[in-house]
Amino acid sequence: MKVVVIGGTGLIGSKVVSKLNAHGHEAVAASPNTGVDTVTGEGLADVLKGASVVVDVSNSPSFEDTAVMEFFRASTANLLAAEAAAGVTHHVALSVVGTDRLQQSGYFQAKQVQEDMIRDSGVPFSIVHATQFFEFAKTLADSATSGDTVSVAPIKIQPIFSGDVATAVGRTAVGTPVDGIVEVAGPDTFTLEDFIRQGLAAHNDPRTVVTDPNGLYWGAALGESDLLPGPDAQLGETHFADWTSRQ
């Protein structure tokens, strides 16, 4: 089965490509680095020739509100139109657990638009909602740092290893479209403060991490459990403590 992985050179995408190829599928990485640009449409028709499944694990190069909205609008529109023309029968996209609860944030408004466009496209689809990747701890910390202190929202998080996300995305891609959402999360729940502290400690990062009772998450005021998945989420097998000890 030919599976085109948009964003196949990225953190998740490169792992999805390896895993699918290891299972005997023909997975093709597509991104600007391989000559495929979903925002301009360059190279799309060619790479989709003969593809049954498209996996979209791309991300906007800029997280600025307007830029990220323009990226997901243009990229998703071009991709879905090209898929319809090529006869693709399953569109798989990676999004974030709780996207609908995070709509104060420009990034998550853009992810919601991406999801809505997929639902309206007529192409059979599966949306994988993942929680935050282990690797995302530093980015989260950097976005909440003032001086030597990281000040985070009073919320819980159930982060997941990128390799476990890639496994779930790959399995979804070779399965039947669910025309809905599949949730995946890590095996353990933390306060955001503990997750960031342990993530920074693994890299000998000396910053202090504190909880701000009024702190925002990526620009959004959240309830304590808004980042957590529902009871039916598939759980990754990798524990954060094991992952940090390997860093």
Alpha-carbon distance of 101 to 63, in angstroms, equals 18
Alpha-carbon distance of 146 to 155, in angstroms, equals 19
Instruction: Examine residue 174 and tell whether it contacts ligand NAP (CB under 6 A).
Output: no
Q: Where are the alpha helices (DSSP H) in the chain?
A: 11-22, 44-48, 65-86, 106-120, 137-143, 162-173, 192-201, 240-246
52 vs 60, beta carbon nearer ligand NAP? 60
Binding mask 176-205 for ligand NAP (x = CB under 6 A): ------------------------------
**Of 19, 72, 76, 26, nearest to 47 (Cα)?**
26
User: Per DSSP, what are the bridge partners of residue 56?
Assistant: 6, 93
> In this structure, what are the phi and psi dihedrals at residue 94, rounded to the nearest 5 degrees?
-100, 125
Binding mask 90-119 for ligand NAP (x = CB under 6 A): ----xxx--------------x--------
Alpha-carbon distance of 106 to 204, in angstroms, equals 32
> In this structure, what are the phi and psi dihedrals at residue 110, rounded to the nearest 5 degrees?
-65, -40
C-alpha 101: how far from its chain's center? 16
Closest CB 11 distance from ligand NAP, rounded Å: 4
For ligand NAP, which stretch binds (CB under 6 A), given 127-135, 201-209, 218-226, 230-238? 127-135
Count of other CB atoms within 10 angstroms of residue 176: 9
Residue 212 contacts residue 154 (beta carbons within 8 Å): yes
For ligand NAP, which stretch binds (CB under 6 A), given 57-65, 82-90, 194-202, 226-234? 57-65
25 vs 59, beta carbon nearer ligand NAP? 59
For ligand NAP, which stretch binds (CB under 6 A), given 89-97, 197-205, 211-219, 236-244? 89-97
Size of the site for ligand NAP (CB under 6 A): 27
- Residue selected from 16, 57, 69, 150 as contacting ligand NAP according to rule CB under 6 A: 57
43 vs 154, beta carbon nearer ligand NAP? 43
Residue 110 contacts residue 95 (beta carbons within 8 Å): no
Instruction: Examine residue 55 and tell whether it contacts ligand NAP (CB under 6 A).
Output: no
- Residue selected from 33, 62, 103, 149 as contacting ligand NAP according to rule CB under 6 A: 33
Please report, as ranges, the residues that interact with ligand NAP according to CB under 6 A: 6-7, 9-13, 31-33, 36-39, 57-59, 61, 75, 94-96, 111, 130, 132-133, 136
